[in-house]
Amino acid sequence: MKNRHLLPLGIICLAFLPLWALLRLPRSQPVLAALPAAGLSCSGGATPLTLWTDNLENGAGNWQPGGLTSTWGLSSFRRHDGLFAYRATDLAVPSDQWAQPPAMVLPPAGMGPIQFRFWNWQALEDGPHGCFDGGFLEYSLDGGAQWQVFTATQLLTDPYDGPISPDYNNPAAGYDAWCG
């Protein structure tokens, strides 16, 4: 599955804005992420401002993998552009792992909507009572002390597939996620 996502946050029209964004992957199957460098247009004649972009061609140094059993790393498998993608692999036990880009300073409020764009490819296991494996996008506005999940209404394309199953002690049980 190939996806491009746009998420409105209501501050300024930007090409890429991770805002301390995380792609959290509880007990994840392979998921790849890359931030493409082109293609955003703003409505009303506004000019897009790119705060940050990363095509992973200079390594994964901009990304901080995390979690007790993080498997995130560079891979040439299922890349979008260039030679690399950032990939997490499947684990045989429940886990909570993530890939975190650097923090961004947001422009002042009132300058227009913010959009965070990324490309990802997913192979996540679905279960009979919801997503067995799942991935969702989070952001923090306080330096990582608290995290909020981007909701279905904030996703302009490819909505979440459903809630993560409470089976198998999944640490993200109940969160809406991409799976299947």
pLDDT digits (tens, 9 = 90+) for 88-103: 887 888 888 888 888 8
Q: What does the pLDDT read at residue 57?
A: 84
Percentage of residues in the chain having pLDDT higher than 90: 1
Separation of alpha carbons 15 and 139, rounded Å: 16
Higher-pLDDT residue of 128 and 135 is: 135
pLDDT of residue 42: 61
pLDDT, greater one: 46 or 29: 46
Q: How many C-beta atoms surround the C-beta of residue 152 within 10 A?
A: 9
Please say if the pLDDT value at position 138 is more than 70.
Answer: yes
Name the residue with higher pLDDT: 18 or 85: 85
The Cα-based distances of 105 to 6, 20, 152 in angstroms read: 19, 10, 25
pLDDT of residue 78: 78
pLDDT band at 121 (very low <50, low <70, confident <90, very high): confident
How large is the average pLDDT for residues 24-43?
43
CA atoms of 132 and 124, how far apart (whole Å): 8
Q: Indicate the residue type of 42.
A: C
Of residues 48 and 144, more confidently modeled: 144
Mean pLDDT of the chain: 71
pLDDT per residue as tens digits for the range 6-25? 333 332 333 333 333 334 33
Round to whole Å and give the CA distance between 177 and 168. Answer: 16
Q: How confident is the model at residue 22, as a pLDDT?
A: 37
